[in-house]
Structures are given as C-alpha cells and as structure tokens.
Amino acid sequence: MPAPQTADSGLFVFSKELFRRWTYQVFAPGVLLREKYNAFRELLRFDDACLELIAAIEDIHYGQAAVDWARVVHLARRLRISVEEMVARLTRLSPAHHLDLPEYAKKVDFYVQMALDVPAGDMAPPFVVPLPEVAGDAARAGGKAANLARAGRLGRVAVPPGFVVTTGAFRYFLEAGELRPKIDRWLRRVDLARPNELAEAAAEIRRLILGARLPDEVAGPLAEAARALAVGPDGEPLLLAARSSAVAEDGRASFAGQYESLLDVPPDEAATAYLRVVAGKYAAKAITYRVLTGYADEETPMAVLFLPMVPAVASGVLYTRDSADEDAPMAAYAVPGLGADLVGGATTPERLALSRRPPHILLDRHTLDAPVLPEAAARKLAALGLALENAFEAPQDVEWVLGPAGALTVLQSRPMAVEGAPAVAPPPRPDVPPLVVGGGRASGGAAAGTVRFAATVLDVADIPPGTVLVTPTLPPALARAADRLAAVVAVAGSRAGHFASVARELGLPVVTGVEDAFHALAEGAVVTVDADAGAVYPGRVASLLARPRQNRPSEGSPVAERLGRLVPLIAGLTLTDPASPDFAPSRVKSLHDIVRFAHEKAVTEMFSLVGPGARGLASARKLKSHLPMTMYLLDLGGGVFESAAKDKELRPDQIRSAPMWALWSGLAADDTPWPEGPPITDDTAFDQTSGGIFASDSKHLASYAVVSDLYAHVMLRFGYHFTVVDALCGPAESQNFVNFRFKGGGAGYEQRTLRLSCVRRILTHFGFTVRTSGDLLDASLARVPEHLVQKRLAMLGCLLAATRLLDMRLSGEADADAWVDRFLARTDR
C-alpha cells in the first residue's frame, strides 16, 4: 500500500513534474506537445464520464429514475474517481498553475462522502431478547415487534408471548459472512426500469443469504429460545410463527406483505426459518417497495419476531378509522380460521362497521355466508382498537385472532394510511356510459391506462408503464409492478389486504369485487378507473383525471433527504464565467464546479501558444465570421489550406477539414435559423447569467476545434449550454463516425429537458442512436458513407444554431411539437 501523500511529498511530486516539463520544453518540445495533447484527450474522456455520472444522479434526484441507494453510492464513487483523474490530468497539462485545486477538491469530496454516509448501526449482543423488553425500541426490534410489545404493556390488550432476534444479529450475520459488499454489488444494479435485472439481483442475494452459515453467537440463543417458546402452559408442544420485523416496517411505510413470514415452524427449524425471513428482505417485491418509499437497505435491517401459533376460530383486520372523517366508523374485516387469505388479497371477507364511540354499536354487516365475527366480539375488538389508537396517537391497522374460548389476541398494530373521503367529481359526459359499476374502493383516486389481463402477463417486464391491470385477486407481489401500474381492477380482494395498504401509500387506484372484470373490459383498450366510485369508463375521462394526485411516496423519505444534501455538492454549478476573478479553485462548491474549472483551464492551456514560434504544433487561430460566436481552430495537419499556413486569423473558406467544413456550412447557411436573443439591453450581463452564446472575443469564452483533413473535434460554448462534436469523414465508410454531446442550458431543469426531447426526436429522425440522462444527451452515427456524414454534420450545424436559447422559449409540450415540425420541414427539403 503506498504511503499517504503529505504536503512535502506533494511539493516534491510537483517540483519533479515541473522540472521534467522544463527539460522537455528546452530539448524536446515535440515530445512535450504530444504528451500535453494526450493528457488533454484523457482529461476530455474523464470530463465525458463526469458529465454522464452527474446527469445520472440528477435523474435519480428529480424522479426520472428509481434505483437502490447502493447505485447512488456507486455512481458517486465513480464520479469522485473521475474528478480526481481530471485534476491529475490538469496538473500534467499545467504543473505550474492551479496548485491549490487538489486541496479544494479534497474538501468537496469530503462533504460528498458525508452526504453519502448511512450510519452503520449497532451489532452488539444480546442477539435474542424477550418480546416485552423491546417495547417501543424499533431500532433494535423493528417496527412490528416494538409496536406489539408496547401494545402488550397497555394491560387490556392481550398479545402472545414471544422473542425477537434483533437487528444487531442481522448486522452481525452479514458481517461474519462478509455478505454486505456482495449484497451491495447486486443492489447497485437495481433500477426499477429494468425489472429483469432486479429479479436477477434479488435471486442472487437470497441465494447468498440462504447459503450462508448462521454464526453460533446467534444460532445458539435462537435455538434455546425457540425450544422454550414451543412449550404451552400445560406442557403441550407448540409450533411457532416467524414474522418479519424490519426497521421502518409498520412505521412511515407499512411494508405490508412485502417481507416473508412463516407459520407452523417446528422449534428445531427456527434457524432455517430465521434465514428465510432474512432472505425475504431481498425479494423483488420488497426491494421495489423499499426503493419506491425511499429507504436505503442499511436503513431497514431485519429483526425476526417469533410467536407461538395461536388457535383461531376467526381472524382478520380492524381499521380504527377508515377515512379522514373523525366520526367515520371503524371497519372490521373477518374470515374463518387464520387470515392468510385475507391479508394476501385472495378472498373477499366479511365487513363490519362499528361506531367509534362506546359502546361501539354494530352499524352494518356485509357477509357472503353466515356471520364470522360475533357482535359481542366485534364490539370488544373495537374497544381494543380505540385503546391502541389512543396509545399510539394515530389511527391503527390491527391484526387480530379470535380464539376458541372467545378471547381476542392482537398479533400486530401499526399506523395506517388514512385516505380522505371519496372524491366528489363532476359526472362524466352523458355519452360516456361506464363499463363497470358497483366495485369496491380498496384504494382511492382516478387514473387512465391500457387494460392488461394478469393471465396474459407472465412477468413484470411484460407490463408496460401505464397499465390498468385486471386480476383475479390482489396478492402482495403486485407491489413489484407498482411503478408500472396506473390502476388495478380485481375480481376478489378487499381494503384489508396487504396490497391494498401498499396501493393507498403509493396513491394507486384499486377497485375490488368486480366479478365480471375479465368480460366487461377488453384487453388493449384505454380506460379510466374511478376507484372512489368503484367504476371504470371507456377512454380518458378528463373530468375524473383532473383531480390532484398524491405526492410521490419517496418525498420526505431518508433517501430524498440525503439526495437533497448530496445533489448540490455533486451537480451544483457556481463557476459560470471563466473570465471572472471568482473562477478559481477557492470558489468551488461542488464536483461539477471542479469538472467545469478543470475543463476550462485545460482548454485554455491546450490552445495557448507553445513556446517561441509554437514549435511542434500549430497554434490556435481565430476564425473570422458573421456568426454570433467566437471560435478558434487548432490544426493538427491538413485541416486548413496551405495558403493559410501563415495567416494569424482564418476565414471559413480556408477550412480544408471535411467534417469541420460540413459542420460550419450548417452553422453558417443562409437559411439557418439563428434566433434573436431575448430583449435584454445589458448583453454582457446576460451572457454571464443565461444560456446565451458568449459573444466576447475572450478565448475563455470561445468555442474551439481541433481539426485535420478527415477529423474534427469541436467544442462549442453556448453559455450554460455546451456541445461537443467528434467526427471522422473520409472515403473509408467503415471508419466514419459522428459522436455528438449536448448538455445544459440557462433555464430550469424541466425546460432544459424539454429542449433535450426536441433534439432527441430530430436526431432519431435522422438515424442517430440517442441516449439521454437528465439534461445530457449523447448521440452517435457510424459506418455510413462520406456524403451522408457531411449531410448529417450540416444538419447538426443548423440544429445547434436553432437550439440557441430554445430552453427559454419553450413553454410546454405543444411548443416543443410545433418547433420540431418546423425544423424537420426546413431540413428535410
């Protein structure tokens, strides 16, 4: 391992580099210039990588990409390395300048690392603790166990005995098996837009966990506690339930049905059950839900709650308040026996409405066959629910069991997402009769999309975004597709199911009890689902879709808060004017600032005169033209006609480089639509604070081109917006290419991305392969004939002129569509 670099060692390296440069400049200037140009090209390569990574992180921050936090950490690490490499290349280019940049870059990097940090958490024993000892201690026991233990302390609420394998045991298990780095390598691949990769990552992580050895420090106390819990009050043997109890579960987010819980576990199989529940943390549906609700994996360590199996005559769920109306009745959902089918969304339960005020009168009962929950038990259940609501100071979702002797046992109590009253919307037009009426409101709201039948959807990847899914039941696994669904229409299921809870958190409309759903709705048809009214209409019904939608579930989440701190340190840009005295290392506040500074100073260094007579390489010369921009050309050989070899300035007609001339012909064509700038009288100030083209003759604000006879690398400065064109244009078709990069602008993020969509559509029309991320676009065209390269470069020149300040002029999608149509009408002629 190399020794850490001290200030003295850094000075030695700098002095050595400076001496080497001086030696080359005196005795071998050609070698120095080649090395300088190689360092410049490497710096540009890292500059490209930095801009891609910044754009990818901005995409995540602005909600355009839903990924695991491990991916953010991975992208930021790659960015930090690339920034460090840029600084190193700038030092090679200009060893006597910007000596303080590395130190200021280290300070920014330190703050970035702090913003990325997620506290590791405790892994100290004891790893197995009795349930009563963890009351309210969600950090150690997870939300489910902590809430249940707290409920047991109320005295009037019966809860089973049990014990918890703590979150510390989970962390110790990962540490002992060296699993955390392996898990993170898979999680950083998680992007909800790529469900197949998510499924692969989930499967591999579960395989790692199930194949790992449970440390003796956990396995021993677990086995002992399981044997003790499996003996009933009269000495009879009992089976156990192993239930997930992760941190954040049953809290701000419910994680309802997303983790695995096991029933009827023999005590000698407790260790195997523990590993299965831990592995359930990494099911594809659980990862999807965690990403959508904005938690990092480290923020949701898994505790496991072990309880004895409780005999059940009936079981179900109680909602202590089923709407935002404080006088709304309580709602009890009941099924015979154990309630797995109820919470799993596979059955339609009995529903009872009870008054909130004692003595909790039974107001209504909907049952399919004979009553399941006796009225007396229902009223007692309502009293328990109200006690829990008062204790937790929030409406509660209570899971309960009714025993053979009529005793009620509470298995779970968690805060519930309370919806507002069903929206009262203007009725659809009389000419829009509903396709479905009389459905149940499992999760409110309205949305439109294309009907897909669950029977024909074999995988999440087969579900296009904007799908209205028609399904026989509401299994919790549907949460894995939540980001792709517009709405759900189900034959069976209820508000009491786990997926219904998740849907309410995510703002996803769900209608249940539609027995003829597969006949009333046609696959492939566009429909509008009004879950508040339990109806489905053909087409898009504007009056229903005009209702305000619920905020994204990730807003205000731990990940959102960290991104809010991280993104300014990564993507913020304060160094905007290279000619300003504030354009200095001491002013950098973000990695983007460092990238901008290194790029600008590298360009300045590369295109400055090199020694007396510019030995070894032609110096950059200004290109004189009528265009509202300043450009300098650096000829690598054959890029300009020999007659211009001694000219201090160049005219466009002296350009010999085939790709450069083609690009310039588009920029300077008589019909090229160079737009007028906005009506601002102080043009200098505007150039410094907007996305306009800098008109100053300063080389700091100019565009540059490195050219040869067949090659051109062009960097066009458009204020906050810049572009790079890299092209080879010659008779060898297999070698020809055009690479194009477009980023930035002076307007807000939405306007910049709107302009980017215009550029993308035009480039796609002309055969380019295009990739966008945030406000960054990359496009390429390869292996095409020489004449086609020239035509496409001319089109690019016209496009670059036309997009000047376009981000500030576009007000919406309609403007963008009209602008694209006008451009294509002009250039397709």
Between β-strands 737-744 and 721-728, what pairing exists: parallel, antiparallel or unpaired?
antiparallel
Distance, in Å, from the CA atom of 761 to the CA atom of 124, rounded to the nearest integer, reads: 57
Token output for 100:
């303080």
Positive or negative, the CA dihedral 536, 540, 546, 550 is positive
> Helix or strand or coil: residue 716?
strand
Average pLDDT score over residue span 772-787:
89
Which tops the pLDDT comparison, 451 or 627? Answer: 451
Asked whether residue 829 carries a pLDDT value surpassing 70, the answer given is no
Q: Are 105 and 113 in contact (CB under 8 A)?
A: no
Residues 6+ apart with CB under 8 A from 28: none
pLDDT digits (tens, 9 = 90+) for 736-772: 889 898 887 767 788 888 899 999 999 999 999 998 8
Between β-strands 467-471 and 446-453, what pairing exists: parallel, antiparallel or unpaired?
parallel
Q: What is the 3-state secondary structure (H, E, C) of 70-123?
A: HHHHHHHHHHHHHHHHHHHHHHHHCCCCCCCHHHHHHHHHHHHHHHHCCCCCCC
Between β-strands 446-453 and 526-530, what pairing exists: parallel, antiparallel or unpaired?
antiparallel
Which tops the pLDDT comparison, 295 or 645? Answer: 295
Distance, in Å, from the CA atom of 136 to the CA atom of 130, rounded to the nearest integer, reads: 13
Whole-Å CA distances, 564 to 433, 561, 569: 46, 5, 9
* pLDDT band for position 593 (cuts 50, 70, 90): very high
CA torsion 78→82→83→89, rounded to 10°?
A: 170
Asked whether residue 261 carries a pLDDT value surpassing 80, the answer given is yes
pLDDT digits (tens, 9 = 90+) for 559-580: 999 999 999 999 999 988 877 8
Residues 6+ apart with CB under 8 A from 9: 3
Least confident piece of the model among 9-18, 111-120, 122-131, 741-750: 9-18
The mean of the pLDDT values for the chain is 86
Asked whether residue 113 carries a pLDDT value surpassing 70, the answer given is yes
Distance, in Å, from the CA atom of 499 to the CA atom of 398, rounded to the nearest integer, reads: 16
> Measuring CA to CA, which residue among 515, 511, 481, 516 is closest to residue 497?
511
Which tops the pLDDT comparison, 675 or 522? Answer: 522
Q: What pLDDT is recorded for position 33?
A: 60
Distance, in Å, from the CA atom of 342 to the CA atom of 411, rounded to the nearest integer, reads: 15
Q: What is the 3-state secondary structure (H, E, C) of 450-498?
A: EEEEHHHCCCHHHCCCCEEEEECCCCHHHHHHHHHEEEEEECCCCCCCH
> Measuring CA to CA, which residue among 242, 216, 213, 359 is closest to residue 304?
242
Asked whether residue 683 carries a pLDDT value surpassing 50, the answer given is no
Asked whether residue 287 carries a pLDDT value surpassing 70, the answer given is yes
Asked whether residue 777 carries a pLDDT value surpassing 50, the answer given is yes
∠ CA 560-562-565, nearest 5°, is: 110
Output Rg (C-alpha) for the chain, integer angstroms: 33
Distance, in Å, from the CA atom of 454 to the CA atom of 492, rounded to the nearest integer, reads: 13
pLDDT digits (tens, 9 = 90+) for 467-517: 999 999 998 888 889 889 999 999 998 888 889 889 988 889 999 999 999
pLDDT digits (tens, 9 = 90+) for 30-70: 455 667 777 887 888 898 899 899 999 999 998 878 999 99
Which tops the pLDDT comparison, 46 or 12? Answer: 46
* pLDDT band for position 425 (cuts 50, 70, 90): low
Q: Which helix (H) or strand (E) holds 566?
A: helix 558-571
> Measuring CA to CA, which residue among 358, 353, 350 is closest to residue 315?
350
Average pLDDT score over residue span 581-595:
95
Distance, in Å, from the CA atom of 460 to the CA atom of 484, rounded to the nearest integer, reads: 9
> Helix or strand or coil: residue 519?
helix
Asked whether residue 800 carries a pLDDT value surpassing 60, the answer given is yes
pLDDT digits (tens, 9 = 90+) for 369-412: 889 999 999 999 999 999 999 999 999 999 999 999 999 999 99
Residue 747's identity, in one-letter code, is: A
Asked whether residue 5 carries a pLDDT value surpassing 60, the answer given is no
* pLDDT band for position 719 (cuts 50, 70, 90): low
DSSP state of 825: H
Asked whether residue 549 carries a pLDDT value surpassing 80, the answer given is no
Q: What percent of the chain has pLDDT over 90?
A: 57
> Measuring CA to CA, which residue among 650, 344, 719, 616 is closest to residue 498?
344
Strand order in the sheet with 526-530: 440-443, 510-512, 485-490, 467-471, 446-453, 526-530, 535-538
The count of residues in the chain is 829
Positive or negative, the CA dihedral 649, 655, 661, 666 is positive
> Measuring CA to CA, which residue among 41, 50, 42 is closest to residue 743?
50
Asked whether residue 618 carries a pLDDT value surpassing 80, the answer given is no
DSSP state of 242: E
pLDDT digits (tens, 9 = 90+) for 176-211: 999 999 999 999 999 998 999 999 999 999 999 999
Token output for 364:
């209504």
Whole-Å CA distances, 787 to 669, 714, 730: 18, 19, 9
pTM above 0.85, yes or no: no
Token output for 21:
């440069």
Average pLDDT score over residue span 354-360:
92
pLDDT digits (tens, 9 = 90+) for 127-173: 999 999 999 999 999 999 999 999 999 888 899 999 999 999 999 99
Alpha helix (H) residue ranges in 256-318? 270-280, 284-293
Q: What pLDDT is recorded for position 386?
A: 94
